[in-house]
């Protein structure tokens, strides 16, 4: 994993089930391209899109995701939802975060064993629901969106036949477009202008990482994890989160209905904030949070600030 990497144009990649991977030296956003092409029926579930740099990379709530060229990973995977209950779909991002965090932790442990790791930076963990941190510094973000896919050829033929007979059926199927940005070989100083705590895998491990090999491992592990999630649900990953957690019992702020962007992040415009204490992560992946007014809330969707 720490070997020199090949030129980006020579990377050998595939999506889920040997689905195709499309690589671009420059894109506005892998997420935007995936959303556009998937919704148009131009690509099938399992497809991977990777960029070496993005000119308009975005995270949640339209926040900027810095995307320097030749240093990091920026990719989208179109995850099929066959056999997964629609109500459980949001948990896929938690499964992905915990799966990726285990890979990153193995790199950190290996580097520490070699005497090269940054032992002052803290340990790798997942901040609910899906931000990956080392200590309290973020280095991996995940953005997921449900996309309704049009029928492929066989269904399209059926749909045309039905239309001829004045019968219309909705044959579109949902999939998750999961966008991932990982600070790999950049330096923390590159992100000072963002005004928030950011780190990189290179800083964590004390050495450069082969991005191609890392991405191959992440996709393979994620595909297995989605299969396990389909069979067993979120509970095994909740247990994994509790083993690596450093936030239970800590004070935090839950930001609900958050529409903040980079421009109004500090003002909190458009957000409802509740401060209190993190009590637990429950078996369904929700957060148990005790507010300062004494009320205890189950939180299914929100930002958590520590």
Instruction: Summarize pLDDT for 134-143 with one digit per residue, the tens.
Output: 998 999 999 9
Rounded CA-CA distance 180/50 in Å is 10
Q: What is the pLDDT of residue 185?
A: 97
Please give the structure tokens belonging to residue 256.
Answer: 């609900």
* Lowest mean pLDDT, pick from 49-58, 70-79, 206-215, 289-298: 49-58
Say which residue, 192 or 215, is predicted with more confidence: 215
Q: Which residue has 């901040």 as its token pair? A: 127
Average pLDDT estimate for 248-274: 69
The pLDDT tens digits for 155-165 are: 443 334 344 44
In this model, does residue 8 exceed pLDDT 60? yes
**Predicted local confidence at residue 194, as pLDDT:** 77
pLDDT digit string, tens, across residues 143-183: 999 999 986 543 443 334 344 444 445 568 899 999 999 99
**Domain annotation for the chain: domains and CATH numbers:** 8-242 (3.30.930.10), 247-305 (2.30.30.100)
- Residue 64: pLDDT band with limits 50, 70, 90: low
Per-residue pLDDT, averaged over 277-295, amounts to 93
Backbone angles phi, psi at 243, to 5 degrees: -70, -35
**Of the candidates 273, 266, 261, the residue with the CA atom closest to the CA atom of residue 299:** 273
Residue 79 has a pLDDT of 97
pTM confidence score: 0.87
pLDDT at 270: 57
Percent pLDDT > 90 in the chain is 64
pLDDT at 239 over 90: no
Give pLDDT, residue 167: 44
| Per-residue three-class SS string for 154-194 | HHHHHHHHHHHCCCCCCCCEEEEEEEEEECCCCCHHHHHHH
Q: What is the mean pLDDT of the chain?
A: 86
pLDDT of residue 255: 83
Write out pLDDT tens, residues 195-222. Answer: 788 999 999 999 999 999 999 999 999 9
Alpha helices, DSSP H only, in the chain? Answer: 30-39, 91-113, 153-164, 201-205, 211-232, 235-244
pLDDT at residue 196 in the model:
81
In this prediction, residue 197 carries a pLDDT of 87
pLDDT of the residue at 263: 55
Contact call for residues 124 and 131 (beta carbons, < 8 A): no
Q: Report residue 55's pLDDT band, with 50, 70 and 90 as the boundaries.
A: confident
């Amino acid at each position: 994993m720490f070997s020199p990497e090949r030129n980006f144009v020579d990377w050998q990649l595939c999506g889920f089930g040997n689905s195709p991977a499309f690589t671009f030296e420059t894109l506005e956003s892998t997420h935007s391209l995936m959303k556009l092409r998937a919704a148009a029926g131009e690509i099938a579930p399992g497809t991977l899109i990777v960029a070496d740099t993005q000119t308009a990379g975005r995270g949640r709530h339209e926040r900027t995701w810095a995307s320097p060229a030749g240093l990091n990973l920026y990719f989208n995977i179109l995850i099929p939802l066959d056999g997964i209950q629609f109500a459980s779909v949001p948990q896929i991002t938690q499964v992905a975060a915990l799966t990726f965090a285990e890979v990153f932790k193995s790199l950190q442990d290996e580097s520490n064993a070699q005497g090269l790791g940054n032992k002052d930076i803290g340990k790798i963990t997942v901040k609910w629901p899906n931000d990956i941190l080392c200590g309290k510094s973020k280095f991996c973000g995940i953005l997921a969106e449900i996309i309704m896919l049009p029928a492929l050829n066989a269904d399209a033929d059926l749909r045309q036949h039905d239309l001829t007979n004045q019968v219309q059926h909705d044959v579109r199927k949902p999939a998750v477009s999961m966008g991932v940005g990982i600070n790999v070989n950049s330096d923390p100083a590159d992100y000072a202008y963002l005004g928030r705590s950011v780190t990189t895998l290179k800083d964590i491990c004390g050495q450069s990482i082969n991005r191609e090999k890392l991405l191959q491992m992440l996709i393979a592990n994620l595909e297995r994890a989605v299969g396990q999630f389909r069979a067993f649900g979120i509970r095994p990953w909740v247990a994994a989160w509790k083993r690596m957690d450093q936030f239970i019992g800590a004070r935090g702020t839950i930001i609900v209905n958050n529409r903040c962007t980079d421009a109004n992040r500090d003002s909190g415009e458009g957000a409802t904030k509740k401060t209190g204490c993190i009590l637990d992560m429950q078996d369904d992946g929700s957060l148990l949070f005790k507010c300062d007014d004494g009320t205890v809330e189950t939180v299914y969707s929100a930002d958590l600030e520590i």
